[in-house]
Structures are given as structure tokens and as C-alpha cells.
Amino acid sequence: MDNCPENITNEILEKQIKHDSENRRFFIKMKDESMSLLDYSISDNQVMNIHHTETPPQWRGKGLAAALVFHAATFALKKKMKINAICWYADKILKDQPKFKHLLQ
């Protein structure tokens, strides 16, 4: 994201989001080498537990954490998983989205 605009589009974000399945996280690496990330685990009953989202202060307010939550929810939807949003932010975002609201436990 070399030229990060004030309002980052979903199209740009989708290209930048990476999945580190070994460490169970989705992340966006920024031009200053900092990262916005979402940590999760998957329980035995195929529930994605979203534990944490984090965005460095200099990148907050640009929709990065929300994009990561939507990306994780899309991943869960494709895998036919439910979501346990332990992270308050993920819970707030997903409760407001008709496309993902039904995934919440």
C-alpha cells in the first residue's frame, strides 16, 4: 500500500490482505512495515473464534480492521463455519452486517 489513500477501497484491501494459516491470522502489511492484523482460532466444532484485531495508531480510521473482519467472515462463510467474535470490535462490525450476522454464535 505504497500510496495509502484517506479512504482505502475494499478492492485495494482485498489485494493486500494475506492469510497466515499456520499462525491463524489475517494481516495487511503497510509501507512502513507495520501490520494491521486479526488473530483467530478454530475450535473442534468448526467455529472460528476471532480473538483480536489490531491496527497501528498511524493507520487507524481507514477501515483496515473492518476489512480484516469482513475477510475473516467471508473465509468462515466459505468454510461453512460459525463465528464466535470474542473481539468486541469484530462482534460490533458483524452484528451490523446482514450478510454475516447469521454466522455469529
Give the residue numbers spanning the domain of 44.
10-101
Q: What is the mean pLDDT of residues 27-33?
A: 91
| Each residue's pLDDT tens digit, 45-64 | 999 999 999 999 999 998 89
Q: Label residue 12 by pLDDT band (50, 70, 90).
A: low
Q: Is residue 4 part of a domain?
A: no
Task: Evaluate whether residue 26 is within a structural domain.
Answer: yes
Beta carbons within 8 Å of 2's beta carbon, 6+ residues apart: 31
78 within some domain: yes
Nearest CA to 70 out of 44, 45, 33, 78 is that of 78
The candidate with the shortest Cα–Cα distance to 28, out of 50, 56, 48, is 56
Number of separate domains in the chain? 1
Q: Which among 84, 16, 100 has a CA at the least distance from the CA of 49?
A: 84
CATH number of the structural domain spanning residue 70: 3.40.630.30
Q: How far apart are CA 81 and CA 48, in angstroms?
A: 7
| 15 in any annotated domain | yes
Is residue 1 situated within a structural domain?
no
pTM: 0.86
